[in-house]
Amino acid sequence: MVAKVATISDHSPDIADMERIFKAQRAAYRAHPMPSAEERISTIKRMKNAIIRHEDALVEAVNRDFGSRCPTETRFVELVSLVEVIKYHVKNVRKWMKPEKRSMPVNMRPAKAKVIRQPLGVVGIIVPWNYPYFLALDAAIAALTAGNRVMIKMSEFTPHSADAMKAMLAEIYPEEQVAVITGEADVGIAFTKLPFDHLIFTGSTNVGKHVMAAAAENLTPVTLELGGKSPVIIHESFPMKEAAERISWGKCINAGQTCVAPDYILVHRSQKDEFARVFSEVVSNWYPTKLNNEDYTSVVNERQLNRLKSYLKDAEEKGAKVVPINPAREDFSTSGKMPMTMVFDTTSDMLIEQNEIFGPLLMVRTYDNLEEAVHYVNDRPRPLALYYFDYDQARVDYVMTHTHAGGGCVNDTLTHVAVEDVPFGGIGPSGMGHYHGYEGFLTFSKSKGIVQKGKINPTKLLFPPWNRRIHKMVLKMAFKPD
């Protein structure tokens, strides 16, 4: 039985058009369910060339949405990364598509077994506002490499980026292959209710629950890339300036508006003041001013800015120490920007401890020994990323095998997301499922097991009536103890 597309609102032209596109994509998939490797390579190569042609328009659009976002930063963390992802998929798609031979039990030979990877059909991608291009197209590339049709719902909070994306993709793909859907929250809700063959959502844990519930109505499998509070543990032996630089790089990109940005620091009690001093020096050196500095990104909108301000107000009222890094003593009261701010002495009743920060605030906590730091992380919901700084391999192995996180880095932050050859995905409250690289190809494919027999049929020996001599012999051999 084929699931019907539920009409959410007959009077909404956006939703009606979205439903029409879904039906067109499903029909196109049925007409051509197994694109060749050459077709898939051609499809994703077109995207690479389009990104290069539209580079300036894409950068300007996201800058308008944020109010101020460093153009070079956008080029590196979104566009350059996507070009590298495309190169990787072009290089590997033929290998991934090859049927995989599997072994057969002795009593079933000479039959053969194999696994083939088939496209699922129509894949839905729900994109957040923080990295509108990378988080839309990285998933789309994996889905297209797997041979699927793709519908992308862009965030209503980045309308200029959505329009730029729509214009770029409409130039190179028919809408029955790739389509960009724009619109407000009602369109997004309707999008989650379409009977996709797979749905991937990147965003907050709370919204992820609603997406999963909507998808369950159609038994649509989901990949959820959520967030959480990603910790950094600094071992006391690690050079503090080196740690501060690598942490600052990961925290300051996009003003901390990154799902895998460091959320809180665990530093040895004896080094708290040293970390605060060195981290402040590094950030001040990189961003001596911020108000009119295009290198430093704004908070995306007033709603998010007020959320972050409420965290600081709540923390201060409950006894936390708030230390903004503002070397030029600029006034941010009428700006969309917020200085990088360290928060000390937080407690569990504070909003900043209860929620993912997703902005330029950084909690700093202390520990007395490494086991205590590991227990602190494990006592909390599993994060999307964990970062550990230490050159001792035994301690590295201990931390990485005794904590759970979606992924992470040793002696760095964020860079694991840009490595296409490793899977990316959360665990528990930080998400479920994986994509990137081969894991993305598998996520958006159906791995179908096939057994093929020739003219010789050994199973014939086991045909009824049961309890013949051959049956007794086979059972005796099967249950022979070691």
* All residues at 6 or more sequence positions from 25 whose CB lies less than 8 Å from its CB, including other chains: 122, 149, 150, 151, 175, 176, 177, 179
Residue type for position 49 = N
Q: Is 233 helix (H, G, I), strand (E, B) or coil?
A: strand
- Taken in order 160, 259, 169, 297, the sign of the CA dihedral is positive
Residue type for position 465 = P
Residue type for position 4 = K
| Tokens matching residue 287 | 């961003």
Q: Is 32 helix (H, G, I), strand (E, B) or coil?
A: coil
Q: Which of 380, 383, 385, 340 shows the shortest CA–CA distance to 363?
A: 340
Contact 140, 146 (CB under 8 A): no
Cβ neighbours, 10 Å, residue 118: 14
Q: Which of 330, 338, 333 shows the shortest CA–CA distance to 304?
A: 338
| Tokens matching residue 161 | 């980026």
**How far is the C-alpha of 218 from the C-alpha of 305, rounded, in Å?**
36
| Tokens matching residue 323 | 């230390």
Residues 256, 257, 259, CA angle at the centre, nearest 5°? 100
The residues with which 118 forms a beta bridge, in sequence order, are 446
* Burial of 60 per CB tally in 10 Å (0-12, 13-18, 19+): middle
Residue type for position 82 = L
| Tokens matching residue 455 | 């003219």
**How far is the C-alpha of 65 from the C-alpha of 68, rounded, in Å?**
8
Round to the nearest angstrom and report the end-to-end CA distance of the chain.
48
**How far is the C-alpha of 272 from the C-alpha of 64, rounded, in Å?**
38
The catalytic residue positions are: 225, 259
